Amino acid sequence: MLIRSMLKQNRSWILGYSVGTSIYLFFLAAIFPSIQETGLIEAKLESLPPELLDVFQIDASMAMDNVLNLLSSNYYGLIFYVLAVLFALTFASKLLAKPVDSGEIMLYMAAPISRVTYVMSSFVVLIVAVGLFVGLNGLSLMAADLLFDLQIDYAVLWMLQLNGALMLLVLGVAAYVIASLFDDSSKSYMVTGGIFTFFLMVNIIQGVSDQFDWMSNLSFFSLFDAGAIMREEYWGIHFIWLLALLTIFSALSFIRFTRKDLTI
């Protein structure tokens, strides 16, 4: 009942992210054949300075003969990072920060619903939201492939979705941990947003020069590398790190929330 209630209360933003991004991907894939014929993509990439391409993790050497190659430098780059941050912030705000701030969470505790049950239910909502997000993204591209014969490699497509799903889960649970540290939802939102923005900037800066490659070790976002997946240079180490981080942050969420003072 709790999970059903949570899903009903949060379905608008869950569907917003899932359907909105899927429509974007479908239409981008639909117009790809026309864009490919004009050769505008290659010409545009050649006109951009290498430093700018590195910042946005665009591999100019990658032939734009497949829609996934285009998406790895477009949607599955900076756009996905920003969406992932907003997604995680929304999840933590809707499921923890605002309920604590408004005192709504005390109603759940009085039901009675244990704190462990509440956290577990929140994570089920997160898993459903992430599943819809990446699932609809993948299905929209498969639909575009069937309609426009884009010759998409489904193994690569779903590897991208799996990597994206793990990234969304890690960021969502990390945001949940940070939100549990505050009683003020606005402060929680600002702090979490600031931390994620720092990681995002670090990921961008490390692409400016080889001298900054070490900075990739400081950012969550380095664990999502669409270009490496496209080049088949992805051997699973990023998945292991993401699963480890997910386990750690999940444990911290339970520990922190069970000890949190929820008195109004």
Q: Give mean pLDDT, residues 5-34.
A: 96
Greatest Cα pair distance in the chain = 63
Cis upstream peptide for 49 (omega within 30°) = no
Q: What is the pLDDT of residues 130-174, one digit of tens each?
A: 999 999 999 999 999 999 999 999 999 999 999 999 999 999 999
Tell me: pLDDT of 121 over 70: yes
pLDDT band at 63 (very low <50, low <70, confident <90, very high): low
Does residue 264 form part of some domain?
Answer: no
Do 164 and 76 contact (CB within 8 A), yes or no?
Answer: yes
Does residue 10 form part of some domain?
Answer: yes
pLDDT of residue 119: 97
Domain that holds residue 136: 2-259
Q: If we measure between CA atoms, which residue out of 202, 128, 199, 197 comes closest to residue 165?
A: 128
Between 105 and 53, name the one with better pLDDT: 105
Q: If we measure between CA atoms, which residue out of 130, 153, 152 comes closest to residue 17?
A: 130
> What is the average pLDDT value for the chain, to the nearest integer?
89
pLDDT of residue 112: 84
Does residue 210 form part of some domain?
Answer: yes
pLDDT of residue 61: 57
Structure tokens at 261: 């003072």
pLDDT of residue 57: 64
Between 235 and 81, name the one with better pLDDT: 81
Q: What is the pLDDT of residues 210-234, one digit of tens each?
A: 777 778 788 889 899 888 888 877 6
Does residue 185 form part of some domain?
Answer: yes
Q: If we measure between CA atoms, which residue out of 78, 50, 101, 94 comes closest to residue 197?
A: 78
pLDDT of residue 108: 87
- Written in H, E and C, the secondary structure of the chain is CHHHHHHHHHHHHHHHHHHHHHHHHHHHHHHHHHHHHHCHHHHHHHHCCHHHHHHCCCCCCCCCCCHHHHHHHCHHHHHHHHHHHHHHHHHHHHHHHHHHHHCHHHHHHCCCCCHHHHHHHHHHHHHHHHHHHHHHHHHHHHHHHHHHCCCCCHHHHHHHHHHHHHHHHHHHHHHHHHHCCCCCHHHHHHHHHHHHHHHHHHHHHCCCCHHHHHHHHHCHHHHCCHHHHHCCCCCCHHHHHHHHHHHHHHHHHHHHHHHCCCCC
pLDDT of residue 74: 84
pLDDT band at 186 (very low <50, low <70, confident <90, very high): very high
Q: What is the pLDDT of residues 71-112, one digit of tens each?
A: 988 899 889 999 999 999 999 999 999 999 988 998 888 888
For the chain, the domain total comes to: 1
- How far apart (Å, rounded) are the C-alpha atoms in residues 216 and 214? 5
Does residue 248 form part of some domain?
Answer: yes
